[in-house]
């Protein structure tokens, strides 16, 4: 995307193909048996890279691109005809299967995180300009009024009928979970084809599927937020079993992804639903690794807001469901025990048990 100027200030962003999580081990030039293929697509306001090998690699990636565009057409708040835009305008409606799933998972993550993840944050995101690009710093009075509309418990949803009713001022934004869901859906698509392995980078949301063609480990580098090193460390994963379950997501959230500067102050896009302001939890980078792309995406945002202590408490209460790599504003790096032996770094780090 490059640098963008707004009101004489520069909104600096890390190139999206390197944002948060970068792939340092690409598929080999020679894939052995089966064909290899790759695709690039711009959707969900980011560039995405898809690579796969197998007999049906071309067909599978063509289908994956269609699926990305379909979900983007449902979730984008920037598309007036999208399902989310229609809900925000009409305040009620029967949800599609995709929206039902995302709403229910969002409610689950909202409860898990004690409200740190909240899809009703959209009015506040708009006030800061992160929804439209006209960046500004809203005042405390304005934020106080908008925060009255940020409350997932105000949504009236019938799981039986799939119908949602929203308060007049409420607006939804699935940006904190949509790419993870999309990556998970693509893994399900791949399960319908003869695909041996694949790696997806959906603007920093990495999903690996199956095994590498030479049988070696997948390697994913977690980008350093401060630029002192090119990355915090490298995660290695062995090949995964086939089918939709044979995939793993690695998602990183950091305030350095999208931000703007005003009067010498930096304001990033991860908003704390409790304050309406950019999160100041002490964490500057959060990576979640698990088999569920939707969960990994939502939790990476939530945990960034929650901070170290609550993040560890959440992880200990859900051991086996996900693993974490946490980097704080004091330069300390932490890795949960499930990644011990899979993560290497030039930075000394502490294992969380």
Q: Are residues 319 and 193 in the same domain?
A: yes
The residue-averaged pLDDT of 310-336 equals 96
Q: Are residues 151 and 262 in the same domain?
A: no
Evaluate whether residue 173 is within a structural domain.
no
Evaluate whether residue 170 is within a structural domain.
no
* Residue 149, domain CATH: 1.10.3980.10
CA dihedral 20, 25, 324, 241 (to 10 degrees): 130
* Residue 233, domain CATH: 3.10.520.10
Evaluate whether residue 284 is within a structural domain.
yes
pLDDT in tens, 5-55: 223 233 333 343 343 344 434 443 434 445 889 999 999 989 999 999 999
Boundary residue ending a domain (165, 187, 222): 165
Report the pLDDT value the prediction gives residue 35, as an integer from 0 to 100.
82
Boundary residue ending a domain (138, 165, 192): 165
Report the pLDDT value the prediction gives residue 123, as an integer from 0 to 100.
96
- Taking the alpha carbons at both ends of the chain, their separation in whole angstroms is 39
Evaluate whether residue 105 is within a structural domain.
yes
Say yes or no to pLDDT of 188 above 70: yes
Q: What is the DSSP letter of 159?
A: T
Coil, strand or helix at 152: helix
Evaluate whether residue 227 is within a structural domain.
yes
Q: With contact defined as beta carbons under 8 Å apart, do 204 and 61 qualify?
A: no
Report the pLDDT value the prediction gives residue 215, as an integer from 0 to 100.
84
Question: Of 243, 239, 153, whose CA–CA distance to 191 is shortest?
Answer: 243
Evaluate whether residue 172 is within a structural domain.
no
Report the pLDDT value the prediction gives residue 255, as an integer from 0 to 100.
83
Q: Are residues 109 and 119 in the same domain?
A: yes
User: Structural domain tally of the chain?
Assistant: 2
Provide the residue range defining the domain that includes 235. Answer: 4-74+178-352
Q: Are residues 133 and 224 in the same domain?
A: no
Say yes or no to pLDDT of 2 above 80: no
Q: With contact defined as beta carbons under 8 Å apart, do 110 and 152 qualify?
A: yes
Q: Are residues 286 and 345 in the same domain?
A: yes
How far is it, in rounded angstroms, from Cα 353 to Cα 351?
6
Report the pLDDT value the prediction gives residue 256, as an integer from 0 to 100.
80
Q: Are residues 115 and 208 in the same domain?
A: no
Sheet order of strands, 156-158 included: 92-94, 163-165, 156-158
Q: Are residues 127 and 261 in the same domain?
A: no
How far is it, in rounded angstroms, from Cα 299 to Cα 322?
9
Q: With contact defined as beta carbons under 8 Å apart, do 311 and 325 qualify?
A: no
- Is residue 33 classed exposed, middle or buried when 0-12, 13-18 and 19+ CB atoms within 10 A define those classes? exposed
Evaluate whether residue 184 is within a structural domain.
yes
How far is it, in rounded angstroms, from Cα 265 to Cα 267?
7
pLDDT in tens, 202-243: 988 999 999 888 888 899 999 888 777 889 999 998 866 555
Q: Are residues 25 and 106 in the same domain?
A: no
pLDDT in tens, 115-162: 999 999 999 999 999 988 889 999 999 999 999 999 999 999 999 999
Q: Are residues 122 and 36 in the same domain?
A: no
The residue-averaged pLDDT of 334-341 equals 95
Q: Are residues 200 and 156 in the same domain?
A: no
Boundary residue ending a domain (97, 130, 165): 165
Q: Are residues 87 and 68 in the same domain?
A: no
Mean residue pLDDT across the chain? 88
Coil, strand or helix at 270: coil
Q: With contact defined as beta carbons under 8 Å apart, do 254 and 20 qualify?
A: yes
Q: Are residues 28 and 142 in the same domain?
A: no
* Banded pLDDT at 246 (limits 50, 70, 90): confident
Evaluate whether residue 171 is within a structural domain.
no
């Amino acid at each position: 995307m490059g640098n963008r100027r707004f009101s004489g200030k520069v909104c600096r962003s890390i190139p999206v193909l390197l944002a948060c999580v970068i792939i340092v081990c690409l598929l080999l030039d020679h894939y052995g048996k089966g064909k290899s293929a790759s695709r690039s697509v711009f959707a969900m306001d980011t560039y995405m890279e898809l690579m796969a090998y197998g007999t049906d690699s071309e067909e599978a990636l063509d289908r994956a691109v269609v699926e990305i565009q379909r979900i983007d057409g449902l979730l984008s708040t920037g598309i007036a005809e999208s399902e989310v835009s229609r809900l925000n305008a009409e305040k009620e409606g029967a949800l599609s299967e995709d929206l039902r799933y995302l709403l229910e998972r969002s409610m689950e993550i909202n409860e898990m995180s004690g409200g740190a993840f909240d899809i009703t944050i959209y009015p506040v995101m708009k006030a800061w300009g992160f929804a439209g690009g006209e960046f500004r710093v809203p005042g405390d009075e304005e934020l106080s009024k908008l925060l009255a509309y940020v409350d997932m418990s105000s949504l009236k949803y019938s799981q039986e009928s799939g119908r949602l009713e929203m308060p007049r001022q409420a607006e939804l934004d699935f940006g904190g979970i949509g790419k993870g869901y999309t990556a998970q859906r693509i893994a399900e698509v791949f399960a319908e084809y003869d695909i041996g392995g694949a790696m997806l980078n959906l603007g920093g949301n990495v999903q690996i599927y199956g095994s590498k063609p030479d049988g070696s480990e997948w390697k994913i580098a977690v980008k350093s937020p401060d630029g002192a090193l090119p990355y915090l460390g490298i995660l290695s994963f062995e090949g995964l079993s086939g089918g939709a379950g044979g995939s793993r997501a690695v998602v990183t959230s950091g305030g350095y992804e999208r931000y703007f500067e005003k009067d010498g102050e930096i304001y990033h896009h991860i908003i704390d639903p409790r304050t309406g302001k950019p999160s100041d939890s002490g964490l500057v980078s959060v990576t979640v690794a698990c088999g569920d792309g939707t969960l990994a995406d939502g939790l990476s945002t939530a945990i960034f807001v929650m901070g170290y202590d609550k993040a560890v408490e959440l992880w200990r209460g859900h051991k086996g469901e996900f693993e974490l790599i946490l980097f704080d504003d004091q330069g300390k790096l932490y890795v949960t025990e499930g990644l011990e032996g899979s993560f290497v770094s030039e930075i000394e780090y502490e294992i969380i048990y």
